[in-house]
Structure 1
């Protein structure tokens, strides 16, 4: 299989690990974006924005497979390890992957904080707004949702800027201490909120955390506080340690023909 790897070099992106993993899974690897979509059986992108998005669509039309990588849902560095999100076609839940059993999440030994029963403010968690249409947060969304929330509730509404655009004043966990709930398009910070027992309302169609949250139009005083484990167990099969990327395990799982 011919794979094109359009992931930047460097410590953050670790193109070397992706290249090693694709080769281990039986692929020949070329770097960058193909000029002709027919040259790629597999195209690996970091996120999915122009010009990669248009080329990815052409690869898929010709029967190829697009894999989209991003930082891990619980952070690039989490629990002392380097994590990536990886799925077919799109990321953040809009793509496809192959969920297995409960053992992958359960094996991490994460203690979920009990659901919040207090807190005063509504914490808005924006994203950077990059990616394919329908997946990327619209740039106008933060201002629009803040205005909407202030019409709907007397609770204080506060925005925590995305750390990729603005340096955070305090750690997320400290901001969550005052929150009754969080409102997001569909961010990794909101996944962390769910783990910390803070309910979430979301706006992104097909967001990976949506089954443990409620749509933004729902009653803010009646957030969802149900079972988070099914969502987290499914999500665990779309996030991979750097060692699993480099060994080819992640690619063999996502690409049955490479198994």
Structure 2
């Protein structure tokens, strides 16, 4: 099983009674519980947990997959921490960006785009359609997941075309959205998963929790050989006497 760090701003839950009623111990606590149910080793970290937001070198050294939830305080995340996480992802750490983490510094850095979208808060119904049922992230999930009350995210979603699109959402108001996007960045795997607005009990839904567990397993680093870069000795015997180089 994977070593997971669940990161959360943990602001809404402390400032809003509406959010606290849904997530009294914080969104990170509910997500962490879902992952522990899958046998993963889970710790949590939050925005106000010191100047490094709980994401120290030591924590990241002990992290296979980083799960990120952010919304209202993206700009407060220290750029040095973003640099640190970015380097880790390129070197193989998995990243799962949840809901409004599409606007997080780290996700936008990895995508290289604005990651903008349409949105509406109207407690409307969503059908999250499984369009790649054979993908590991969709294991155990039916043809669609129905969520009674959600925040709408609508196209256009300004992200690069995903390597694989696992889920597409339809909303009661008529919009559609690419809600389960898989990417590879360097040696790391990145999954964006849309459901998860703070005022609705999305992360209590068992299908959503199963997707999170599946996503962690998919994003965790594998046991394959580590890539090597830079000047390289030949694999086969060749004449290396030519010294025409400016390096």
Max Rg structure: 2
**Greater strand percent: which structure?**
2
Give the TM-score range, shorter chain: 0.3 to 0.5
Return the TM-score normalized by structure 1.
0.38
Return the TM-score normalized by structure 2.
0.40
